[in-house]
Amino acid sequence: MRVPFYDIKSQYDELQQPLDEAVHAVLSSGSYSMGQNHNLFEQELAALHQVKHGIAVNSGTDALRIIMDAAQIGRGDEVITSAFTFVASVETIVQTGATPVFVDIDPATFNIDPKLIEAAITPRTKAIQPIHLFGQLADVAAIGSLAEKHGLSVIEDAAQAISSTYQCVPSGNFGIGAAFSFYITKNLGAAGDAGLILTNDDEIAAACRSIRVHGMGRERYYYDHIGYTSRMDEIQAAILRVKLTKLQEWNQRRAEFADIYRERLANAAVMLPKVSSGNNHTYHQFSIRSERRDALQAHLKDRGIDSMIYYPVPIHFHEPYRGFGSGPGSLPETEKAAKEILNLPMHPHLSSEQVEYVASAIVEF
């Protein structure tokens, strides 16, 4: 049996007619930029997360960068985050001129360990950026209290956490702004790049709206900020609105597959991902740990099963980022996770038989 890691084409097959119609409607309308789909998608995502403002942009990376610009994070500031992430979480901090300060992760959830944050706060700290990795929120309660105590902003990197919740409150409600990604492989994926900012803060929302279009103010060709060209294409918004109708059903399938993995692997010699109290997990990834990770991955490959390593090298090990952080050995849990993590096939178009097959291959190993 073959078990692919992702299966994007099946999303199209399932929704072929409405997707074709939506794309064709955009093409024939002649309205390709910031049209009706774009505006409705902003409202739909804001409503889904019970957040006041949605601002569509052209990637999750831009969403992070624009929130930071709107919050006036820049040279001289420090932003606390994790090094166990996709590089965009950190490159955007560096691009503002601010310094990323890395805090180690909780080995059971892969999210920033809130117990270690306070020791990293200095007079220069301006924000904490938790990354809600793999579909589960970081410890937003603890992070929120620390931020309040020290007068810091929280910026959520929610790229992997669409509709994930803590105590039934969705991502997007735990800071001054949250960045979402609709990269192809995400739980809600465009046919290319797209992203979104959610915020309950009117001033941040207004600044983000301006910065995404060159910093333009209410009047055309008058500029209030230094900005970017970061509009979400109308065609991507139309595609995302069609796929959005399936998001809850697709997430439900992910949850069912996660249950199968958990049940079948309960006694296997691998560590299963922990869901923290109060959290739901939308399983963007199902991430296990094994001290014999590379051999396990090879064993799965021999049986036609694809798996991935997110993330093989912590950010503070990469050449451009070596100047930040304290080098190898400084983030022991991050560094250990990079050696042990293995992400199993997890997408809505798997069959339960495929998931059972993956689990048996792991048990066999």
Ligand X SMILES: Cc1ncc(COP(=O)(O)O)c(C=O)c1O
Q: For residues 113 and 86, is the Cβ–Cβ distance under 8 A?
A: no
Residue 359 DSSP label: H
Preceding amide of 311 cis, omega within 30: yes
Mode of pairing for the β-strands spanning 153-157 and 125-128: parallel
Smallest gap, in angstroms, from Cβ of residue 289 to ligand X? 19
Report the residue number, 59 or 153, with the smaller CB distance to ligand X: 59
- For residues 189 and 243, is the Cβ–Cβ distance under 8 A? yes
Q: Which residues bind ligand X (CB under 6 A)?
A: 59-61, 85-86, 88-89, 131, 157, 159-160, 181, 183, 193, 195
C-alpha span between 234 and 32 (Å, rounded): 5
Nearer to ligand X by Cβ, of 166 and 357: the residue is 166
Q: What are phi and psi of 316, to 5 degrees?
A: -70, -5
Shortest separation between residue 133's beta carbon and ligand X, angstroms? 6
Is residue 276 a contact partner of residue 109, using CB atoms and an 8 Å limit? Answer: yes
Toward ligand X, which CB reaches closer, 92 or 354?
92
197 and 179 Cβ atoms separated by less than 8 Å: yes
Minimum gap (Å) between residue 1 Cβ and ligand X: 29
CA 137 to mean position of chain CA atoms: 10
Minimum CB–partner distance for residue 61 and ligand X (Å): 3
Judge contact between 3 and 357, C-beta under 8 A: yes
Beta carbon of residue 239, minimum distance to ligand X (angstroms, whole number): 15
Closest contact distance (angstroms) between CB of 298 and ligand X is 26
Residue placing its CB nearer to ligand X in the complex, 270 or 338: 338
Distance CA 44, CA 355 (A): 32
Of 181 and 187, which CB lies nearer to ligand X in the complex structure?
A: 181
| Identity of the residue, 59 or 354, whose beta carbon is nearer to ligand X in the bound complex | 59
Number of residue whose CB is nearest ligand X: 60
Q: Which two tokens stand for residue 157?
A: 């990197």
Nearer to ligand X, 37 or 89 (CB): 89
Nearest CA-CA partner of 57 in 25, 90, 88: 88
User: Length of the chain, please?
Assistant: 365
- For ligand X, the closer of residues 112 and 342 by Cβ is 112
Smallest distance, ligand X to C-beta of residue 86, A: 4
Cα–Cα distance measured from residue 124 to residue 312, given in angstroms and rounded to the nearest whole number = 30
CB of 111 to ligand X, least distance (A): 11
CA distance 243 to 11: 8
Rounded CA-CA distance 278/285 in Å is 19
